[in-house]
């Protein structure tokens, strides 16, 4: 049913097979109102290459009834691809209730031949008290159990929504409940109001909580996510599909989508797009044409932007570049930047889902990138899998340079010849580690392991990054039991690392020597460093005696 071909972060490129055909994920699933269609399903299939769309079974039943059953949903819509049907639960959120039971709407979806169908859950919504949120979760589960008892067909993929709203422990509980039932796909419910309020940080919490519990072999659908500027965020967290009628709703309000935000047509002087709509019109022509025609064209433009962004995301996943795209998109609005920073809480989750692969060089832009799987994975491997060379007595911490790999640089060779080799001849076994942002401590023998020498970062580092490096290097020092530690560097962020390492050495009860050199890597500076280490080693030996 679901075959994954490529991964990056928690995202995945895959194929979902249904009785009417396959579609690729990540997938933007346009929602079609069966009554009002500014862009027809046939156009979606032929012009936009959409292989899946969604319509509302409750509205279809209300307006077409028996006709929909006789024709089938594909023929009724004139769409040869995969048709998913929602149950009408969103109407519960808007109007309080619907005049249909969970069993009735499930059987109707069977009767019209849906390929993918959603049970009639009970949305939690935004701002619901805990008691109400818990009730919606348990009522959704009860409805799901009743639904499975009446189903007659086995060729429809059923979607099990996860509820709970902003109450994360209840979201987790809901995900566990729904995972226990034989759903093919899961969906995160109640995100629309969260997104309308631009609380994308809360959305991150909700998705990550559900994703950490749900079975990884079942696709995850995000209800109501329809703006391309947040697609990469949803996909990076593991959402395989998202549906929305926003392309049409925005058009009716004369709002023009871009991958970075939304503009009102009345404010446009230019059309910053080269889609088939925008390449043949200018902004004034779009404003002056009859409203019905302009709404249709804006809807088509909005569809182009959504489809193009999904293609861009797929390419980024394929290249292992989704994080870079995510960072670029999250700079388009402060609330998205807040959400990007929230990802640090879920660095372990992203690391768990993201593959270990050698890709292109890593681009690190700032402290938000500390949530990247590559950073979290290096820290984890240093703890779980690394031990210093046997007999290492002194840890020498050297700053990594722009030249990579560091151990091939002139500066490193000079440090070897003036510091490490002479000390070794005196019976002092020195182990060299680098301290570098964003990774922290890098044993020199791992210098060429991807991506420790295959990255670029801005200069100087921001202080959040420096704090992380200082803490990571200090943890390394405390873990590995050297008898003395020396740090070489120059004023600036190196000093902050030195302060943290000095505190770690004080806690460990070992000598700490550091040299902040105004002329780093000079013969005089390295000679002074050697003398400092000799003094520290002698002090350590006297203490042991």
Catalytic residues: 86
Report DSSP letters for 73-110, one per residue: HHHHHT--SEEEEE-SHHHHHHHS--SS-HHHHHHHHH
Report DSSP letters for 124-136, one per residue: --SS--HHHHHHH
Tokens of 35: 């009554």
Element containing residue 484 per DSSP (H, E): strand 484-489
Using an 8 Å Cβ cutoff, are 182 and 146 in contact? no
Measured CA to CA, the distance from residue 351 to residue 365 in angstroms comes to 19
Name residue, tokens 């402060």. 334
Measured CA to CA, the distance from residue 436 to residue 451 in angstroms comes to 12
Q: What is the DSSP letter of 483?
A: S
Tokens of 122: 């009970």
Measured CA to CA, the distance from residue 488 to residue 529 in angstroms comes to 7
Q: How far is CA 375 from the centre of its chain?
A: 15
Measured CA to CA, the distance from residue 66 to residue 503 in angstroms comes to 76
Measured CA to CA, the distance from residue 66 to residue 534 in angstroms comes to 91
CA dihedral 415, 416, 421, 424 (to 10 degrees): 80
Residue 372 to residues 342, 344, 352, Cα–Cα distance (Å): 12, 8, 11
Which of these, 389, 408, 396, lies nearest to 448 by C-alpha position?
Answer: 408
Measured CA to CA, the distance from residue 137 to residue 178 in angstroms comes to 9
Element containing residue 456 per DSSP (H, E): strand 455-456
How do 430-436 and 440-443 pair as beta strands? antiparallel
Residue 153 to residues 85, 86, 102, 335, Cα–Cα distance (Å): 15, 17, 16, 44
Using an 8 Å Cβ cutoff, are 146 and 103 in contact? yes
Measured CA to CA, the distance from residue 30 to residue 160 in angstroms comes to 19
Measured CA to CA, the distance from residue 75 to residue 67 in angstroms comes to 10
Measured CA to CA, the distance from residue 224 to residue 159 in angstroms comes to 15
Measured CA to CA, the distance from residue 431 to residue 471 in angstroms comes to 20
Measured CA to CA, the distance from residue 426 to residue 26 in angstroms comes to 61
Partners of 160 in the β-ladder: 186
Using an 8 Å Cβ cutoff, are 79 and 45 in contact? yes
């Amino acid at each position: 049913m679901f075959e994954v071909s490529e991964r990056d972060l928690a995202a995945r490129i895959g194929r979902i097979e249904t009785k009417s055909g396959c579609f690729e994920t990540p997938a933007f699933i346009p929602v079609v109102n069966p009554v009002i269609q500014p862009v027809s399903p046939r156009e979606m299939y032929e012009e936009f290459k959409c292989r899946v769309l969604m319509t509302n079974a409750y509205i279809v039943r209300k307006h077409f009834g028996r006709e929909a059953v006789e024709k089938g949903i594909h023929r009724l819509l004139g769409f040869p691809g995969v048709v998913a049907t929602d149950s009408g639960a969103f109407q519960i959120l808007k109007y309080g209730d619907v005049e249909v039971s969970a069993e009735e709407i499930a059987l109707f979806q069977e009767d019209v031949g849906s390929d993918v169908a959603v049970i009639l859950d009970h949305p939690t919504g935004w701002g619901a008290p805990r008691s109400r949120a818990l009730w919606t979760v348990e009522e959704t589960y009860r409805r799901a159990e009743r639904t499975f008892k009446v189903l007659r067909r086995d060729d429809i993929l059923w979607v099990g929504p996860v509820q709970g709203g902003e109450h994360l422990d209840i979201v987790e509980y809901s995900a566990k409940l729904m995972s226990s039932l034989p759903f093919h796909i899961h969906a995160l419910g109640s995100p629309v109001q969260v997104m309308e309020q631009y609380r994308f940080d809360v959305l991150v919490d909700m998705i990550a909580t559900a994703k950490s519990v749900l079975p990884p072999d079942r696709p995850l659908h995000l209800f109501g996510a329809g703006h391309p500027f947040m697609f990469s965020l949803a996909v990076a967290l593991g959402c395989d599909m998202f549906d929305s009628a926003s392309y049409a709703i925005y058009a009716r309000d004369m709002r023009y989508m871009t991958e970075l935000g939304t503009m009102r047509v009345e404010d446009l002087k230019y059309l910053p797009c080269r889609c088939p709509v925008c390449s043949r019109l200018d902004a004034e022509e779009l404003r002056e044409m009859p409203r019905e025609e302009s709404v249709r064209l804006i809807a088509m433009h909005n569809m182009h932007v959504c489809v193009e962004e999904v293609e861009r995301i797929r390419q980024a996943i394929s290249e292992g570049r989704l994080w870079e795209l995510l960072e670029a998109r999250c700079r388009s609005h402060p609330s998205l930047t807040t959400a990007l920073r929230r990802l640090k809480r879920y660095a372990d989750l992203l690391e768990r889902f993201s593959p270990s692969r050698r890709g292109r060089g890593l681009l690190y832009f700032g402290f938000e990138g500390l949530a990247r799987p590559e950073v979290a994975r290096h820290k984890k491997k240093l703890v779980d899998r690394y031990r210093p060379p046997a007999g290492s007595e002194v840890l020498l911490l050297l700053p990594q340079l722009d030249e990579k790999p560091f151990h091939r640089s002139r500066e490193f060779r000079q440090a070897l010849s003036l510091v490490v080799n002479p000390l070794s001849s005196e019976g002092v076994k020195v182990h060299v580690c680098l301290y570098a942002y964003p990774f922290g401590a890098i044993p020199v023998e791992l210098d060429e392991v991807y991506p420790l020498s295959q990255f670029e970062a801005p200069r100087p580092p921001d202080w959040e990054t420096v704090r992380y490096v200082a803490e990571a290097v200090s943890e390394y020092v405390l873990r590995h039991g050297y008898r003395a530690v020396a740090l070489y560097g120059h004023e600036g962020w190196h000093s902050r690392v030195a302060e943290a390492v000095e505190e770690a050495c004080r806690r460990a009860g070992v000598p700490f020597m550091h040299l902040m050199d105004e002329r780093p890597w000079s013969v005089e500076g390295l000679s002074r460093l050697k003398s400092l280490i000799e003094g520290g080693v002698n002090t350590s030996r006297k203490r042991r005696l």
